[in-house]
Structure 1
Amino acid sequence: MCFTVRDVLVRNLEELGERNFKKFRNKLNEFPVIEPYRSIPKARLEKADEDDVADLILAAYSNPYGVTVTLEVLRQIDQNRIAEKLEQDLETASNYKKPSNGHKLAGMMGTQRADTGAEHFVDRHRAELISRMGLVDPILDDLLSRKLLTDEHYSIVRSKATSQDKMRELYGFSRSWGVGDKDTFYQILRKHNEPLIVDLERSGSC
């Protein structure tokens, strides 16, 4: 069976139990991530379950830095056994990328900057999301309700004839979004087309 990094993260987070998982969420919000990343807002973590937290980690930090953050947070809450198991399980994940030395060092020190060249998931897969996303209107409705699109921008995108044209126009407006906004965009995309997002996360490897 083919497992992804997300699958492995969820499985190991579930082993924490309710009390330690709450500690993990709190520490994840406090963890001093390296630039250009930003900490996941506390409000998004408070009621998140294991699946939600895995999604937030990968959307905010991608693979492999999300793995580094997860491992360091586990160690900071004295869950070394699960951290070791997570490292072992990740070796079986189809899309696992080992963290660079810069990521490892910055993760341990917490305050150092690393030249990551990191791209958010929605930027890294821009071309695929434009060409392969089917129904775009429900996505626009959610973006409007989250105030990531103005009424004017919403109307402009809706007026385009094809899904590809709508997504292309939407990406034009997304250039001003910060990391948190892109996290929300990722969650909305996953809500409306989870099979596509999972396929992109697998990166075609199995």
Structure 2
Amino acid sequence: MKRTSCGFTLVEVLVAIFIGALVLTSVYGVFGSVSKVRNRLETEGDLYHQARIFFDRIGGELGSMRVSPLGAEAVFSSGETTAGVFFLEFNTELVSPLLEKYGGISRVRYEVQQDEESIQLLRSEKVLLADMAASEPLLFIAGLSSFQVRFFSQGDWSESWSRSTPPQMVEITLELRTDDQVIPFRSSFVLSGVSG
């Protein structure tokens, strides 16, 4: 009498399990890679958003810079404080919406502070047409790995600015750090009303 087989052999079952495991492992790898890329793109998108907000804001302020002096301070100044902290300060007609009711000219100050882990950019503003104290410096960008400003006037670039008149152009370079890389950003701003 002849016997017919009704099931799978052990070898066939093991081969099927092995093939299934290979397919599931590759699908898991693809989903893991897609998830990592999505997280990295979200982080980078946040950094690009921070840089865009900063460059839009300072570009508007520099574009609305008040070239004629108001008071005893220079219209535009930059350098280091006695504590070695870099600052950039200038008069602008683009004021924060909450301060518009006090007048249309402010003194804006950007200041770099560094701790053990990162560099931070702080921003403060003082209304010049009202007797008010300057606002507390607020955190504008955190997680910087570098922040540099250069000034252009009469055909030369300078790393610092101490003249009584503003430069013709300001170039700002900053680097924002993610977990595993540094993303550089650079923009230049031509100051209207400045002759050179």
TM-score bracket, normalised by the shorter chain, equals: under 0.3
User: Which structure shows the higher strand fraction?
Assistant: 2
Query: TM-score, with normalisation over the residues of structure 2?
Result: 0.24
User: Which structure shows the higher helix fraction?
Assistant: 1
Which of 1 and 2 has greater Rg? 2
